[in-house]
Amino acid sequence: MLNWGRVLTAMVTPFAADGSLDEPGIRRLVDYLLDHGSDGLVASGTTGESPTLTWDEKLTLFSLVKEAVAGRGAVIAGTGGNNTAEAVKLSQEAGKLGMDGILLVAPYYNKPSQEGLYRHFRTIAEAVPLPVMIYNVPGRTSVNIEAGTVLRLARDVPNIVAVKEASGNLMQVSEIIAHAPEGFRVYSGEDGLVLPILAVGGYGVVSVTSHLVGDDLNQMHKAFFSGNLREAARLHASMLPIVRACFQPSTPSPVPVKAALNMLGIPVGKPRLPLVEATEAERAVVAKALEDYGLLRKPQH
Domain layout of the chain by residue ranges: 7-226
Backbone angles phi, psi at 151, to 5 degrees: -65, -40
CB < 8 Å & 24+ apart, contacts of 155-158 = 155/181, 156/122, 157/121, 157/122, 157/125, 157/126, 157/132
Q: How far apart are CA 210 and CA 213, in angstroms?
A: 5
Residue 132's DSSP bridge partners are 102, 160
Whether residue 1 has pLDDT greater than 80 = no
For residues 301 and 67, the model is more confident at 67
CATH of 7-226, one of 3.20.20.70, 3.40.50.150, 1.20.1090.10, 3.40.190.10: 3.20.20.70
d(C-alpha 115, C-alpha 27), whole Å: 40
Residue 301: is its pLDDT beyond 70? no
Q: How confident is the model at residue 194 (pLDDT cuts 50, 70, 90)?
A: very high
Average pLDDT, the chain: 97
CA atoms within 13 A on the CB side of 250: 13
Distance CA 195, CA 190 (A): 10
Question: What is the reported pLDDT for 2?
Answer: 83
pLDDT per residue as tens digits for the range 247-297: 999 999 999 999 999 999 999 999 999 999 999 999 999 999 999 999 998
Place 87 in a pLDDT band, splitting at 50, 70 and 90. very high
Side-chain-side CA neighbours of 63 within 13 Å: the count stands at 11
Q: How far apart are the first and last CA of the chain?
A: 55
Averaged over 24-37, what is the pLDDT?
98
Q: Name every residue whose Cβ is closer than 8 Å to that of residue 96 and which is 6 or more positions away in sequence.
A: none
Q: What is the pLDDT of residue 35?
A: 98
> Considering the entire predicted model, what is its pTM?
0.97
pLDDT in tens, 106-151: 999 999 999 999 999 999 999 999 999 999 999 999 999 999 999 9
What span, in angstroms and rounded, lies between the C-alpha atoms of 64 and 280? Answer: 33
- Angle, helices 229-246 vs 280-293, to 10°: value is 160
Q: Give the ranges where the chain is alpha helix by DSSP (H).
A: 23-35, 55-69, 84-96, 114-126, 138-141, 147-156, 170-179, 194-199, 210-225, 229-246, 255-263, 280-293
Catalytic residue annotation? 135, 164
Provide the CA 127 distance to its chain's centre, in angstroms: 23
Rounded to whole angstroms, how far apart are CA atoms 30 and 9? 10
Q: What is the pLDDT of residues 195-247, one digit of tens each?
A: 999 999 999 999 999 999 999 999 999 999 999 999 999 999 999 999 999 99
Q: What is the pLDDT of residues 162-177, one digit of tens each?
A: 999 999 999 999 999 9
